[in-house]
A = this chain, B = another copy of it.
């Protein structure tokens, strides 16, 4: 039986964006079944008494440099957003709605939302922008507007974050291969080696 590749990501995460552009290829290559899990890092950072990388003294400047260089070396378009980090509740809820009601379009929508922010500088913290992007992907704007405001989707995202923390997820991107945890875009190669060894 094929193992699962649970992919946890936050829309404000540069390495999450980079990982999202290659996660389907990684799943195909390793024969793992991919599950997308939009999450929010805010509640996790509270538990860790942590902060976004760019706000940490010394680490902050390096972090932005490493975002740009990592993207460049991987051939991924990247422009450090002027406003960073941002609130990502609307984008995460739209992704969750798509995963539940338009599964075939969900990966495409998630990648479009990420690229809108990290390549094109669009304000995906705004629900309007998120809905525009859904419409650009051929999805129904009004349906998504109702979807991201609905109680089941709100509760569903809260549950995703709680479930993720219960499984030990504390960052983005975070991948669980079965129960084996991998944190970071720079662990894709470890996942390949790990799967190949079994």
Give the B-binding residues of A (Cβ under 8 A). Answer: 44, 47-50, 56-59, 61-62, 65-66, 69-70, 73, 165, 168, 170-171, 181, 183-184, 186-187, 189-190, 193-194
Contact = CB atoms under 8 A, between A and B. Distances in A.
A22 to B, nearest CB: 15
A56 B50 contact: yes
Nearest to A181: B62
A47 B65 CA distance: 20
B170 A58 contact: yes
A47 B61 CA distance: 14
B62 A170 contact: yes
A62 B194 contact: no
Contacts of A171: 59
Contacts of A193: 73
A48 B44 contact: no
Contacts of A61: 168
Contact of A70 (B62, B66, B190): B190
